[in-house]
Structure 1
């Protein structure tokens, strides 16, 4: 039995907090709206959190790095406990206004972090408002 971690980016305005269909009733939900929104800058409006310009903006001109360090600390405690207790599912959600920039970036970075720190877990990444984005299970 192994732990599967679903990570979602979503929009508070459009779809709202993703439902957990595992039967566990949810997990973490992190609100990225407190981070300066690159979507308000013309050159980034049609881009997403997967694109280099948006990523550099979030890393250099916002408090996103500090935000994600806090997220890493919090989720690591739970993931370690879930692994030790043989839990099968954890959901981690990142929301922002449109589900395009901050939440996508956060979901991508945390998916990579989890896979690197906990290679024994299966990571499934979903961008709920951006179905065109290429996502892959990080197994």
Structure 2
């Protein structure tokens, strides 16, 4: 029996921890830089929040280019996921980085995990917030 495709999705900080290492041994995956998106962390009411909070999510969805950014990301990763599933690959890593690993990258990782789970139910999705450990799910998404 073929193993499932495991998709590990990370949010991270370029300033703190840097790009996450691929522990699968495959040596890579995608790295998307969210720093080109307006940072809600520069707005006082959002500073202590994360990309999982409704106010930050609403800001990113309605006042930034995040929806367009994620649509492009979803198109790119879908090509690979379809290919990997068809070829029996077992691992793909997708990383989202921003300055502090708190707002934009967390949001992008959450939304991408939900997209993959919805469109590719045969894949197992693991979500990792490298700077916001309290947000990490106890199980897979």
TM-score range, shorter chain: over 0.9
* Equivalent position of 2:8 in the other structure: 6
Structure 1 stretches lacking a partner, 5+ long:
none
Correspondence list, 1:49-60, <5 A: 49-60=51-62
Within the candidate set 53, 60, 63, 1:61 is matched to 63
Q: Which residue of 1 aligns with 2:129?
A: 127
TM-score, scaled relative to structure 1: 0.98
Residue 137 of structure 1 is aligned with which of 122, 136, 140? 140
1:132 aligned counterpart, secondary structure: helix
Whole-Å Cα distance in 2 between the matches of residues 114 and 132 of structure 1? 22
What's 1:116 paired with?
118
Partners of 2:123 and 2:60 lie apart in 1 by: 28
Runs of 4+ in 1 over 2 A off after TM superposition: none
2:67 aligned with 1:98, yes or no?
no
Q: Contact 2:6 / 2:126 at 8 angstroms: preserved in 1?
A: yes
Q: TM-score, normalised by structure 2?
A: 0.97
Tell me the matched-pair count. Answer: 138
Deviations 1:107-137 (A, max 9, x none): 0000000000000000000000000114241
Unaligned 5+ runs, structure 2: none
